[in-house]
Chains A and B, each alone.
Chain A
Amino acid sequence: MISISITADAREATAFLVKITGQIRQPRKLNAALAARLEDELKSHFDSRNSEPNKMGAEKTGFWANVAQNTATTEIRDDGATVSIGSDTHFRIHLLGGVIKPTGGRKYLTIPLIKEARGIRARVYEQTTGRKLFRPGNARVLMERSTEGAVSSDSGTTGIIRTKTGFRKINIRGKSRLRAVYALATQVNITKDPNALPPREQLAAALQDAGNAWAASLKGGGN
């Protein structure tokens, strides 16, 4: 009689150990069945993450749907299997945490402060809305003149706007209605998302279920 026992690997956070009692002729098939279950558990988890509303109430960028699409079983061996989550989805930084810094010669990252700016670069925001963004003084923020949710300033100030050839100073009249659109940051610390992956206990239980089902499906005690 075949029995399969699954435990989380204490040495490696994203691996699981499979102990088999009895002899099986085609371990690769067992590993394929386990990998299929693991893949589905991960995708189901990412699907449910994708259905969560974002804090801003903005249109979804589909980040978690993209992670789910980039998840697949990519290796099956006699002694194990691997489910890959594509590293180009930026999933890793959610899982492990890290620091994001501007690249390509830029000095700042632009962090959207309103839902209309989410997922859009500052220049594209300007082009599509027709509203110029400016930096008031040395403030680390890009603002716009807008009547929507805007804050009045009683006294005038100066700001910097980007032009085709560089930057230039502009005057902001007193009592203008302004709105902060992006915050400027030299880096952003991303904390680990504890829910990036399903709980290990949940995955181990699912794999155990898959292992039990596979063992039960064997005819005559072997395959």
Chain B
Amino acid sequence: MPAIDIHSPLRDAVSQMASRRVTPSGMTSREWEALQAEIRLRSMFSATVENERVLVEMKERLNAGISNQKTGGATMDRGRFVEEMRGIIQETGYKRPDGIRKSSVRNLRSRARLELIWNMNMAQGVGYAQWKAAMDPDMLYASPCYELVRIMPKREIRDWPLVWGDHGGQFYGKPGKDYPDAEGRMIAPKTDLIWRWISRFKTPWPPFDWGSGMGLRNVRRAEAIALGVIKEDEELIPQDLPFNHNASASLEGIPESRRQAIVRDLAGDVEIQDDRLVITAPARISHLPRIPAALASVTATAAATAAAWTAAEQQAIMAVVSKTVAFIRLKNQIEQAGGSLTVMETLTRALLQFLANPDEQAAIAEIRRGPFRDVQWTELDFREIRRAIAKQIGGAA
């Protein structure tokens, strides 16, 4: 019988769900315990502060909020977080940067900034829990798609339909009330890469940007089929991503002496790569268990299988492809043409579409649209990339 439970925080309920049954990746309960630690670590990725004490104090409070722990006899909530952090930041002698208003979100001590830090960190934990719950195979069958909708009004509204379309998102049906001038509703399968492309944090779960006010709502199977988002007999393959997937924060403006202190305070779970602080929690997927060696030659069979790859498998393959001469050459061409990281991610997606399409000419035509029309593709490019993928597939079996 269906029932409503109101006794556990969502994150705990989701982890209990996972511990009762084997997840698609075979994650054990021990790995779920490690995941809780990752959630706490992830909570730090919004401050971009210089002062180690502020960082540590913030981490403790966000940790208490995420794990629903009592400190000093009371639970940590947003109001308490803001009040206490304002006092701590003042004690450190923090000075508001010149030209920044007291109430500005760029002032670390402002209510707006601290509330944003709290909201974002709590939302990321909940977003991940929601996403994991949605990846149950039978839930994914019953509700295969998400719609991007506005869940909170904002004064400054980003043009999300433009963002959606720029990243290859499709529109379906009549536009919703939030964006009546859009081409339609912003809907995609839950496993579609679009959810990562539109996210500033490159994760497929909300929040998708700082204080965006956007969220997700389920689109159940019958409606998804009626709108043409999925086919009637289509079944999605659940994905599995660690919570700290793609987590990084900019260190721009932070002197070297402070950077090492930040790394030390985060207890070795992070490292500095270029100008960014990156979480180095080990990836959960280190192999491709489901693709046999027989698919080493890329044929229509492999193309069909490509559609079944999880996001983690796609990532692993792209890690190999990105080292090929062809890919590097294409990347340079795009960058010289003024392209950006976003374009590169779209290229990745396009290449995977190519692999999923048995009609090579149609796939090439598809890839050459949009931002890639000026890129000088050659047949050798595709051959080299195919070889790299085949090697990755064959080596994994």
Measured CB to CB, the residues of A under 8 A from B are 9, 12, 14-18, 28-29, 31-40, 42-43, 47, 50, 60, 62, 65, 68-76, 79-88, 91-92, 95, 103-105, 119-121, 123-124, 127-128, 197, 207, 213, 217
Contacts and interface: CB of A to CB of B under 8 A. Distances in A.
Contact of A74 (B17, B103, B222): B17
Contacts of A103: 73-75
A86 B86 contact: no
Interface stretch (B25-33, B213-221, B236-244): B213-221
B139 A197 contact: no
5 contacts: A36-B139, A83-B2, A83-B5, A84-B13, A85-B10
A207 B14 CA distance: 23
Contact of A38 (B2, B86, B215): B2
A79 B221 CA distance: 22
Interface in B1-28: 1-11, 13-14, 16-17, 20
B6 A14 contact: yes
Given A35-B2, A84-B6, 19 more contacts: A9-B3, A17-B1, A18-B1, A29-B138, A29-B141, A32-B141, A36-B139, A38-B4, A40-B143, A69-B126, A69-B215, A70-B126, A72-B134, A76-B136, A76-B138, A82-B5, A86-B126, A87-B9, A128-B103
Nearest to A79: B1
A50 B13 CA distance: 24
Contacts of A207: 2
Nearest to B133: A72
- The number of chain B residues touching the other chain, given as a range, is 35 or more
Contacts, number: 170
A189 B182 CA distance: 46
Contact of B10 (A17, A33, A50, A70): A70
A99 to B, nearest CB: 16
Nearest to A164: B87
Contacts of B9: 70, 86-88
Contact of A124 (B11, B16, B79, B142): B79
B68 interface: yes
A213 B68 CA distance: 39
A123 B17 contact: no
In this complex, which of A43, A69, A95 has the most chain B Cβ atoms within 10 angstroms of its Cβ?
Answer: A69
B151 A104 contact: no
A60 B219 CA distance: 27
A72 B4 CA distance: 10
A123 B86 CA distance: 10
Which 6 A-B pairs have CB atoms at the shortest separation, nearest pair first?
A: A104-B74, A32-B138, A86-B10, A103-B74, A14-B4, A15-B3
A40 B143 CA distance: 10
B142 A82 contact: no
A217 B6 CA distance: 32
B1 A104 contact: no
B373 interface: no
A40 B2 contact: no
A34 B138 contact: no
B152 interface: yes
A215 to B, nearest CB: 13
B130 A82 contact: no
A35 B13 contact: no
Contact of A36 (B5, B78, B82, B143): B143
A181 to B, nearest CB: 15
Interface in B127-157: 127, 129-130, 133-134, 136, 138-139, 141-143, 151-153
A39 B217 CA distance: 10
B72 interface: yes
B295 to A, nearest CB: 29
A133 to B, nearest CB: 14
A74 B16 contact: yes
A33 B220 CA distance: 9
Contacts of B220: 36-37, 40
In this complex, which of A35, A68, A121 has the most chain B Cβ atoms within 10 angstroms of its Cβ?
Answer: A121
A74 B21 CA distance: 12
A68 B4 contact: no
Nearest to B218: A40
B2 A124 contact: no
Nearest to A214: B142
Nearest to B80: A121
B123 interface: yes
A165 to B, nearest CB: 14
B209 interface: no
B386 interface: no
Given A17-B1, A124-B111, A68 B151 contact: yes
A124 B218 CA distance: 38
Contacts of B206: 69
